[in-house]
Amino acid sequence: MKRRRGIMSERLKYELADELGFSHKVKDGDWGNITTREAGSLVRAAIERAEKLMSKQGSGPG
């Protein structure tokens, strides 16, 4: 089975992990060290950021 390419950039994942307070767990690149709750928080934060970006793009002139 072909593995899907990640949607989130590595930079964004590390940035969000830092904001959420568990960047120390992923410094070595091993994302298997985070909890399910932390992974869910990461996804929620990414979705919120994308929604904010989309709303800013949609509120332009026109």
Q: pLDDT tens string for the chain (62 positions)?
A: 566 667 889 999 999 999 999 999 999 999 999 999 999 999 999 999 999 999 988 876 65
Based on its alpha-carbon atoms, the radius of gyration of the chain, rounded to whole angstroms, reads 14
Give the Cα separation of 19 and 14 in Å (integer).
9
Nearest alpha-carbon partner for 13 in 3, 38, 37 = 38
Any idea where the domains of the chain sit in the sequence? 10-58
Q: Map residue 44 onto helix, strand or coil.
A: helix
Look at residue 46 in the predicted model and tell me its pLDDT: 95
Look at residue 4 in the predicted model and tell me its pLDDT: 64
Look at residue 44 in the predicted model and tell me its pLDDT: 97
Look at residue 61 in the predicted model and tell me its pLDDT: 62
Angle between helices 10-20 and 36-58 (to 10 degrees): 110
Query: Which alpha helices (DSSP H) does 1-62 contain, by range?
Result: 10-20, 36-58
Look at residue 60 in the predicted model and tell me its pLDDT: 61
